[in-house]
């Protein structure tokens, strides 16, 4: 059966529709360039509501396992691939990717020229798109604020003892929690709408999580958050990084087409080193908006020069636009967790160098 990926600019792509192609889905269309990591991408809450195009031509070859989910369920609205294998091969594989998508009623398309789709997105920018049975899909107005859809409602605690970190939940990935637990940290996951609870929790440090949609959706909590940032050592990851910039009076803007993949080079201006990073974002901090704020740029993207991380000029506040927790992608930036936790332990103030 035929299916169509319809972009809002009128371009359409034909492909083969999956078994559960019985409802049209609309979402922002984005492309991910990693060769592996599809399970992590599909379950990462930062992808909430998006239609993901995998540019690598063969997806699903190691199946779906019990370990790699970043949350309990698939978060994307639809998936577009060139080829999706029905016969996975891996000792941990529990089911095929197609079965997993069908079980959760997520429509997907195969036999799509994903290179052509990617070229269209690169030329015209990230936009709304639909998976539809026909080419005449009628676009609906979009409803914002995806963070509310993925952020939890109550405080959850993990780990027994050790330094206490509050993980502010904008839609956290399991790998961020794991990176902290592996380092002997006790974690309280705190919904972003309950930031005022930090005064009761009195953590040793806070980590601001990743999350879906526009970082400006957090505007209501920014004044409270800024007070917390000035009080507790803070590390912001992806949306958390963007929120730190906004809280201190910086600004964010949307890239024409975001960074999503496992090999984005980032330069650390402190060490002069370049490393590869895992990325998934549409928005970036505007460099000129940092003038007059206490934030300075620590990391740059080597490809397009955009800001990849910040540090505060006098407090222990640091951030990364990329994903040091990886999953998917290289672990080359994992040292940032060690760096941050060591600085917290040593009450590091000015130096952010490991
Ligand atoms: N992974 C994230 O936290 C993404 C942040 C934000 N939603 C963006 O697209 O830029």
Domain boundaries, the chain: 2-132, 149-346
- pLDDT given at position 354: 42
- pLDDT given at position 142: 87
Indicate which atom in ligand 1 lies nearest the CA of residue 44. Answer: 1
**pLDDT interval class at 14 (50, 70, 90):** very high
Q: How far is the CA of 168 from the centre of ligand 1 (A)?
A: 14
Identify which has the larger pLDDT, 349 or 246.
246
Provide mean pLDDT across the span 41-63: 98
Which residues are annotated binding-site positions? 46, 211, 213, 239, 242, 280, 283
From the candidates 40, 70, 308, 325, which is the catalytic residue? 325
Residue nearest to atom 5 of ligand 1 (CA): 239
14 assigned to active site: no
- pLDDT given at position 349: 53
Provide mean pLDDT across the span 41-66: 98
- The CATH number of the structural domain formed by 2-132 is 3.50.30.20
State the chain's mean pLDDT as an integer. 96
Indicate which atom in ligand 1 lies nearest the CA of residue 212. Answer: 7
pLDDT digits (tens, 9 = 90+) for 245-304: 999 999 999 999 999 999 999 999 999 999 999 999 999 999 999 999 999 999 999 999
- Which of the following CATH numbers is that of domain 149-346: 3.40.50.720, 3.40.50.880, 3.30.70.3420, 3.40.1010.10? 3.40.50.880
ipTM of the prediction greater than 0.90, yes or no? yes
- Ligand 1 neighbours, Cβ below 6 Å, are 46, 210-213, 215, 238-239, 258, 280-283
238 assigned to active site: yes
- pLDDT given at position 31: 98
Mutate to test the pocket of ligand 1, among 280, 284, 309, 323 (most ligand atoms within 8 A of CB): 280
Mutate to test the pocket of ligand 1, among 40, 242, 252 (most ligand atoms within 8 A of CB): 242
Q: How far is the CA of 237 from the centre of ligand 1 (A)?
A: 9
Take residue 40 and report the two structure tokens written for it: 């992590």
Pair 323, 263: CB distance under 8 Å:
no
Q: How far is the CA of 160 from the centre of ligand 1 (A)?
A: 30
pLDDT for 244 beyond 80: yes
């Amino acid at each position: 059966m035929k299916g169509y990926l319809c972009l809002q600019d009128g371009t359409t792509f034909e492909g083969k529709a999956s078994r559960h192609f019985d409802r049209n889905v609309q979402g922002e269309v984005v492309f991910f360039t990693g060769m592996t990591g599809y399970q992590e991408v599909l379950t990462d809450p930062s992808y909430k509501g998006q239609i993901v195009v995998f540019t690598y031509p063969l997806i699903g070859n190691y199946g779906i396992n019990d370990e790699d989910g970043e949350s309990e369920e698939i978060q994307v609205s639809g998936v577009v691939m060139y080829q999706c294998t029905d016969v996975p091969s891996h000792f941990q594989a529990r089911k095929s990717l197609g079965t997993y998508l069908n079980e959760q009623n997520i429509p997907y398309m195969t036999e799509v020229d994903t290179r052509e789709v990617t070229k269209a997105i690169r030329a015209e920018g990230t936009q709304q798109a639909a998976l539809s049975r026909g080419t005449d899909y009628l676009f609906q107005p979009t409803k914002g604020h995806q963070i509310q859809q993925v952020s939890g409602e109550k405080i959850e605690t993990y780990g027994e003892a050790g330094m206490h970190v509050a993980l502010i939940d904008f839609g956290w990935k399991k790998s961020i929690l794991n990176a902290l637990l592996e380092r002997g940290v006790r974690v309280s996951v705190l919904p972003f709408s309950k930031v005022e609870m930090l005064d009761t929790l009195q953590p040793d440090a806070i980590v601001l999580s990743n999350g879906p949609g526009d970082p400006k959706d957090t505007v209501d909590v920014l004044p409270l958050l800024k007070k917390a940032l000035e009080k507790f050592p803070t590390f912001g990851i992806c949306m958390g990084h963007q929120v730190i910039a906004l809280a201190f009076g910086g600004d964010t803007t949307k890239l024409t087409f975001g960074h999503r993949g496992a090999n984005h080079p980032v330069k650390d201006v402190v060490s002069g080193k370049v490393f590869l990073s895992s990325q998934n974002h549409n928005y970036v901090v505007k460099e000129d908006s940092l003038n007059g704020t206490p934030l300075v740029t620590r990391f740059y993207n080597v490809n397009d020069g955009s800001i990849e991380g910040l540090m505060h000029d006098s407090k222990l506040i640091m951030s990364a636009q990329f994903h040091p927790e990886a999953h998917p992608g290289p672990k080359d930036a994992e040292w940032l967790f060690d760096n941050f936790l060591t600085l917290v332990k040593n009450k590091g103030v000015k130096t952010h160098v490991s």
